[in-house]
Structure 1
Amino acid sequence: MNRAAQRRLIAAATTLVAVATGVTACSSSGSSTTAGSDGSKSTYTVWDPYPQFDKTSNWAKLLDRCGSKAGVTIKRTAFDTTDLTNKTLLAAQQGNAPDVLIVDNPVVSTLAEAGVLTTTDENGIDTSKVQSNLLGPGRSGDKTYGIPVGANTLALYYNKRVLKDAGVDISTIQGWKSLTAALAKVKAAGKKGITFSAVGTEEGSFQFLPWYWGSGAQLTKLNSADAVSALGLWTDWLKKGYAPNSVINNTQTTSWQEFASGDYAFAENGTWQLANAKKAGFDYGVIPVPGRWGGSAPVPTGGEFVTVPVQKRTDRYGPSDKIVTCLTSAENSYDTDTTLSYVAPTDAVQAKQVAADPDLKVWVAAVKAGKGRTSDNLGTKYPKISQQLWTAVQASLSGSRSPQAALAAAQSAAK
């Protein structure tokens, strides 16, 4: 590896610290295995961020089937998201990257810029049926560096009983003004308004982005009037008691636990809470996060990409490509995305998901309107912008700075 490539990898490692501390928090470890000399009927390494699935899981069995279909044996290693990105960079420096890498979507552009990943054109991986907004995080420049497994995103869960007791008709919530009016009624009725995560990590930025984008703000100008209106909305909710002060430290998990108590009217959370919602013990519904003036706000998409890292031996790419194609095929996508609580990345499989579970209809609509955090040509700039964004949110909600001052500081630092 030449010095320029090494410098890119070192820079990438620094950049990934901010973005790799997102939604998952499990751990596992393993090692790669040397392949046979003919590049086939040998052991191929697959690294993924799903340590919650052991070797008996449907996910692990699918990997084995895809390996068999490609004529190879799969050695799978599951890592915590942070460990995965760091170990990938180290392996790339050592020339020992996995054959197939499944990685959180905001990380793709950083790995691509560091020279770690091959393109889908180089490997003949068909992305034509993937929705363009979901493919966006995998693009850097005019090239695509992987294919999404699926996507998750955010919406508003609501407690039907709490709203009914407060005299709130959910159909009247069409924008921020009507939502805030509903929260006022809920508080007057003796219940709690809305809970979310504003923690000082990528989770906090992830949860703030629907409101930020829903105001019309762009991540290239953190101190715009639209951006100030979004942070002002959250800050006013805390001041008026419509949202609890605990949101400053809430993760998406602890925020959900507050909503599951049955006292809150609303919770901003994701598709991954659907199973828990069905076990909550009260009637619930889901609506899109409203935009400032109505309609649905753009929401950030979560989820992973299946990628093929650069290898010293080009004869290894053939089986890797077959593994990727198998994992993301329409035949397997439905089962995979059901297991991961993801919305599929293609129209055909999304339709199949909704037919099987009508509750997914609002989530499919949200994903269709979503956007990647590294989209808008942000790429490797996103992690620094995100860090300044969550810092501004923390400063404003804690009362240490006004929304205007907090975002002005964020914009200055992000430059």
Structure 2
Amino acid sequence: MRSPMTGRAIAVILAALAAGATVACTPTGGDSSAKTSYTIWDPYPQYDSGSDWVALLNRCGTDAGVTVTRTSFDTTDLTTKVLLAAQQGTAPDVLIVDNPVISTLAEAGVLASADDTSLDTTAIPPNLLGAGQSAGRTYGIPIGANTLALYYNRSVLAAAGVDIASVTDWASLTSALAKVKAAGKKGITFSAIGTEEGSFQFLPWFWGAGANLTKLDSAQAVAALALWTDWLKQGYAPNSVINNTQTTSWQEFATGDYAFAENGTWQLGNAKKTGFEYGIIPVPATNGGTAPAPTGGEFVSVPVQKDTGRYATTRKLVACLASTENSLATVTALNYVAPTEAVQAKQVAANPELKVWVDAVKVAKGRTGDNLGTRYPKISQPLWTAVQAALSGSKTPQAALTEAQTAAAAATK
């Protein structure tokens, strides 16, 4: 997920749907026997009609014996459009959408389940599939996944006398940051902005402490927030993290002054342009091992159609997009980790640098998983508010998270 969708955006979208707003869309329903055109909506406006992505869509259509009509929207716009199109009965046949939105669309009755469409999801690991599930039913399959890890600057660590192999848990990471500061360099940068990006970046530490989103004020959650707060107090992380997006945080790391940066798979291309040697390690859990990080990436889903006879061809289109051969090409183009072990192995064979990302994805978690569904945005907003309050010094981690738990509990009743 390059830009996690905010709870505010989802709330606005649902409010628009409830208000009965309308939008002009091309109808896709009707008699399946009379139509050979199938529509696909995706969130990739950066890929034009001459791209490999569109060529794949067209090839999948040809293999299924139909013509594919593709429309692309920005992520937020896409969700709005599909909610309103579903209200009008003009939803596309295939929808590729940001994974946290799946539960919103499923609970709104927009998506057909895998039981309805007979989609095969058996090759997808449960931790990735979880983001596409709601109330025990599956509503799509991931086209790819990305997540978070720690980039590091080899020369900064070497000058500070830090062996990256020694960084295995919170204590050893904090010790490394202290050495870096003592050597006259900067420690770690991340995004703690008061939006979904802030929650997205905090979750590996939150989950890595053993905390659960249903209890924001647990001792484990407080320990995670105290870690970040102490880093700012000690000067190991800059005050700018409070306003940093993932992009501006990366820009800080790219100056060459920082030892570490928490960021995502999507920065691999930029990492090669920094002009310094870098490496990548997983975000460590408090007592060692890899912390679960939130998954980003899109799901291929099937909106509800009045003419259920269309599902048979739709299933062929989805199977084509998710096939091993096509999946490898797609995730390579999108800088994603493949959702299946077979394709992950091919990725690592082609680019060993991806192994750390594959390992991170294997223990990653969907934000709407644990059966949170549409409750997640109502929990995430109090969480990022608590992070902001603690990092700014206006509240202690305990007080900030106690307030967050009260707000989340009230919002999710």
- Give the corresponding residue for 2:119: 125
Pair 1:273 & 2:270 matched:
no
Question: Which of 132, 136, 140 is equivalent to 2:130?
Answer: 136
> How is 1:85-104 mapped onto 2 (pairs within 5 angstroms)?
85-104=79-98
Maintained 8 Å contact 1:18/1:387: no
CA distance in 2, matches of 1:337, 1:18: 31
Instruction: Classify 1:352/1:126 alpha carbon distance in 2 versus 1 (closer, same or farther; 3 Å).
Output: same
- Matched with 1:80 is 74
Q: Distance in 1 between matches of 2:149 and 2:60?
A: 33
User: Which of 37, 41, 49 is residue 55 of structure 1 equivalent to?
Assistant: 49
Structural mapping, 1:280-291, within 5 Å? 280-291=274-285
Whether 1:339 aligns to 2:327 is: no
**Take 1:73 and 1:152, find their aligned partners in 2: how far apart are those partners?**
30
Tell me what 2:387 maps to.
393
Q: Do the aligned residues in 2 keep the contact of 1:197 with 1:207 (CA within 8 Å)?
A: yes
Q: Aligned partners of 1:128 and 1:240: how far apart in 2?
A: 48
| 1:265–1:30 CA distance, 2 compared to 1 (3 A) | farther
1:221 & 1:41 partners in 2: Cα distance? 50
2:58 equivalent in structure 1: 64
Q: CA separation in 1, counterparts of 2:262 and 2:344?
A: 22
Q: What's the counterpart of residue 153 of structure 2?
A: 159
- Determine if contact 1:49/1:102 at 8 Å carries over to the other structure: yes
Determine which of 191, 194, 200 is the counterpart of 2:194.
200
Separation (CA, whole Å) in 2 of partners of 1:272 and 1:401: 33
Superimposed CA distance per residue, residues 228-277 of structure 1 (whole angstroms, 9 cap, x where no aligned partner): 01001111111111111111111111111111111100000011111111
- Give the structure 2 partner of residue 251 of structure 1: 245
- Summarize the Cα distance change of 1:14–1:117 in structure 2 as closer, same or farther, 3 Å threshold: farther
2:370 alignment partner, one of 370, 376, 401 = 376
Q: 1:318 aligns with which of 312, 315, 319?
A: 312
TM-score between the two structures when normalised by the length of structure 2: 0.92
Secondary structure, in 3 states, of the residue corresponding to 1:174? coil
- Displacement of 1:42 in angstroms is 2.3
Letter in 1 for 2:41: W
Instruction: Give the letter aligned to residue 210 of structure 1.
Output: P
Partner in structure 2 of residue 147 of structure 1: 141
Q: Following the alignment from structure 2 to structure 1, what is the Cα–Cα distance between the partners of residues 372 and 191? A: 24
Q: Which moved more, 1:161-170 or 1:74-83?
A: 74-83
- The letter of the residue matching 2:353 is D
Q: Does 1:306 align with 2:300?
A: yes
CA positional deviation for 1:31:
4.5
1:18, 1:130 → 2: CA distance?
32
CA 244–14 in structure 1, closer or farther in 2 if over 3 Å, else same = closer
Q: Give the conservation status (yes or no) of the 8 Å contact 2:29–2:89.
A: no
Q: CA distance change for structure 1 residues 209 and 18 in 2, over 3 Å: closer, same or farther?
A: farther
User: Is the counterpart of residue 365 in structure 1 residue 362 in structure 2?
Assistant: no
AA aligned opposite 2:240: S
Q: 1:39-54 maps to which residues of 2 (within 5 A)?
A: 39=33, 42-54=36-48
Cα drift, residue 116 of structure 1: 0.6
Aligned twin of 1:356:
350
Q: Tell me, in whole angstroms, the C-alpha distance in 2 between the residues paired with 1:19 and 1:174.
A: 42
- Maintained 8 Å contact 2:145/2:339: yes
Q: CA deviation at 1:94?
A: 1.2
Note if contact 2:170-2:287 (Cα within 8 Å) is conserved in structure 1: yes
CA contact (8 A) 2:25 2:90 kept: no
1:243 to 1:34, Cα distance in 2 relative to 1, 3 A: same
Q: Is the 8 A contact 2:390 2:400 kept in 1?
A: yes
CA 50–168 in structure 1, closer or farther in 2 if over 3 Å, else same = same
1:14 Cα deviation (Å)?
A: 7.3
Opposite residue 315 of structure 1, the aligned amino acid is G
* Aligned equivalents of 1:141, 1:311: Cα separation in 2: 21
| CA–CA separation in structure 2 for the residues paired with 1:398 and 1:86 | 34
- The amino acid of 1:67's aligned partner reads G
1-structure distance, mates of 2:36, 2:346: 35
Q: Distance in 2 between matches of 1:266 and 1:145?
A: 37
**What percentage of aligned pairs have identical amino acids?**
70
RMSD: 1.8
For residues 187-218 of structure 1, the C-alpha deviation after alignment (integer angstroms, 9 at most, x for no partner) is 11111100001111111111000000001111
Equivalent position to 1:108, from 80, 102, 105: 102
Relative to structure 1, the CA distance from residue 147 to residue 407 in structure 2 (aligned partners, 3 Å threshold; closer, same or farther) is: same
Match of 1:26?
none
Cα offset for 1:79? 1.1
Which of the residues 149, 164, 168 maps onto 1:170?
Answer: 164
The SS at the match of 1:200 is: coil
Question: C-alpha separation between the residues in 2 aligned to 1:95 and 1:368?
Answer: 37
Equivalent in 398, 401, 404 of residue 404 of structure 1: 398
Alpha-carbon distance change, 400 to 306 in structure 1, aligned in 2, over 3 angstroms: same
Q: How many residue pairs get matched?
A: 395
Shift of 1:225: 0.8
Distance in 2 separating the partners of 1:47 and 1:355: 32
Question: Which 10-residue stretch deviates more, 347-356 or 313-322?
Answer: 313-322
1:315 counterpart SS class: helix
Distance 1:382 1:98, change over 3 A: same
Q: Distance between the aligned counterparts of 1:196 and 1:149, measured in 2?
A: 27
**Partners in 1 of 2:214 and 2:33 — Cα distance?**
45
Unaligned 5+ segments in structure 2 are 1-6, 15-22
